[in-house]
Structure 1
Amino acid sequence: MRYKRILLKLSGESLMGSGQYGIDPKRLQQYTEEIRAVKEMGVEIAIVIGGGNIFRGVQAEASGIERVQGDYMGMLATVINGMALQSALEGAGLYTRLMSGIKMEQVCEPFIRRRAIRHLEKGRIVIFGAGIGNPYFTTDSTASLRAIEIQADVVLKGTRVDGVYTADPEKDPTATRYSELSFQEAYEKNLNIMDMTAFTLCQENNLPIIVFDMNKPDNLFNIVQGENAGTLIT
């Protein structure tokens, strides 16, 4: 194994599958199998998942909802996705804990750093919901911060494409993939990998990021073993 403890960042939109909103059971099952394969290797896994398949805070203003209120609504959406993923993982025989940046003891534990690390040490998969508990911060920022707090070896950002490209590969057929980048190169090339807060947190704390295609079977497993199946930013 190349990494002993990972922070897996998934977007809420990835759970939609081919749908327009909500959670696709097939996609949820696929992710569960991918995560279980890595867990059986002995890797300690923490997960941050977005809520864009249910509600995005940045959409709030267009709906006439105040931005702060909209961000809190988005945080609650991430908890719903976290509960769905938790249920799927436990249905596959894995032990999990859902921890929230907002207190809601009936459904999940409040985030406490030492407790989260202890869960990982005991072999439990820890899912972080509700962001960091404050508006104006994205789930990318949550992933970076939580990864630093739990002393993860890497942030694995699962997307729909197999890495970072010179241009949008879904729009530009001539776009080429970077196999490796430095943080400085990513800044200079103005590559949209994470929001600036999340990216800077990783850079300042020497935390590498790997962007990869989560929808390709065995990709997560291969990356944890050290294969070049995405773009490494370090």
Structure 2
Amino acid sequence: MADIKYKRIVLKISGEALAGEKGFGINPPVIQDVAKELKEVYKLGVQIAIVVGGGNIWRGQTGAEMGMERAQADYMGMLATVMNALALQDNLEQQGVPTRVQTSIEMRQIAEPYIRRKAIRHLEKDRVVIFAAGTGNPYFSTDTTAALRAAEIDADVILMAKNNVDGVYSADPNKDKNAVKYEELTHLDIIDKGLQVMDTTASSLSMDNDIPLVVFNLNETGNIKRVVEGEQIGTTIRGKE
């Protein structure tokens, strides 16, 4: 454990990352690779909590743009995150990693309801905890869920795993060749510069609770382990100046 920089982490995985190049749904090779990577981190003795998005199946904002009532569309998005959580749980357990899924909306036949103390106890017993269904409330993103859960369980860091993006840039590197990559920022920088890392609510919550954030590329093998061991990859966003 002497070589580990972060003992307890919240890993935020977007739904799009689980879709891989397919762009929609769950890509089996991708989720299998994620499970294998997490097993390597788990073997280091790191306590792992995961917040998974649902954008590979449904995005509440898209539904709202189609004319659907926003709250209803967001609830559909929450259900999409549960599907991803169950798929990730199954792949982790195939790797021999014990897991628990906790949902913010009760569905006891398939998962535990979210209880803070129980989640912490699972982590202390070396179980990976997957948080699904967002915060249980419409209008709040899974980024905000990650910031909230990290504060609640006293996590050392939020690891934001991106799909083929290796950090935070001044502009979209896929569209602007002059985009500059940032090595370090603060949450206040993210808000002031309007950088598309996480929504303002999530940034403010992380800043208020002094929770660092590391943004890195999920698609490069071994990156999660590198971050946990303290290697400087991607972009580190500090809680305070």
Normalising by the smaller structure, the TM-score range is over 0.9
Picking from 165, 168, 172, the partner of 1:168 is 172
- Amino acid of the structure 2 residue aligned with 1:203: M
- Amino acid of the structure 2 residue aligned with 1:230: G
Is the CA contact (8 Å cut-off) linking 2:191 and 2:203 kept in structure 1?
no
Deviates more, 1:15-24 or 1:218-227: 15-24
Aligned to 1:68: 71
Picking from 64, 80, 84, the partner of 2:87 is 84
Aligned to 2:111: 108
CA-CA distance at 1:190 after TM superposition: 2.0
Is the CA contact (8 Å cut-off) linking 2:78 and 2:136 kept in structure 1?
yes
Asked if 1:196 corresponds to 2:172, the answer is no
Q: Any runs of at least 4 consecutive aligned residues in structure 1 with deviations exceeding 6 A, and if so which?
A: none
Aligned to 1:155: 158
> Which TM-score applies when normalising by structure 1?
0.98
Asked if 1:56 corresponds to 2:78, the answer is no
Picking from 137, 140, 143, the partner of 1:137 is 140
Asked if 1:205 corresponds to 2:209, the answer is yes
- Amino acid of the structure 2 residue aligned with 1:175: A
Give SS of 2:26's match.
Answer: coil
CA-CA distance at 1:36 after TM superposition: 0.7
Distance 2:184 2:74 in 1: 33
- Amino acid of the structure 2 residue aligned with 1:178: Y
Picking from 125, 146, 161, the partner of 1:122 is 125
Distance 2:128 2:23 in 1: 28
- Amino acid of the structure 2 residue aligned with 1:148: A
Distance 1:195 1:124 in 2: 29
Distance 1:61 1:207 in 2: 31
Aligned to 2:23: 20
Asked if 1:93 corresponds to 2:91, the answer is no
Is the CA contact (8 Å cut-off) linking 2:191 and 2:200 kept in structure 1?
no
Distance 2:182 2:65 in 1: 36
CA-CA distance at 1:20 after TM superposition: 3.2
Picking from 14, 33, 36, the partner of 1:33 is 36
Asked if 1:215 corresponds to 2:219, the answer is yes
> Which TM-score applies when normalising by structure 2?
0.95
Structure 1: segments with no counterpart, 5+ residues: none
The verdict on how the C-alpha distance between 1:64 and 1:184 changes in structure 2, with shifts beyond 3 A counting, is: closer
Q: Percent identity?
A: 53
Asked if 1:180 corresponds to 2:192, the answer is no
Aligned to 1:225: 229
Distance 1:184 1:73 in 2: 32
- Amino acid of the structure 2 residue aligned with 1:146: R
Distance 1:144 1:120 in 2: 17
CA-CA distance at 1:21 after TM superposition: 1.2
Q: Deviations over 1:158-177 (max 9, x none)?
A: 00211101211111122221
- Amino acid of the structure 2 residue aligned with 1:61: A
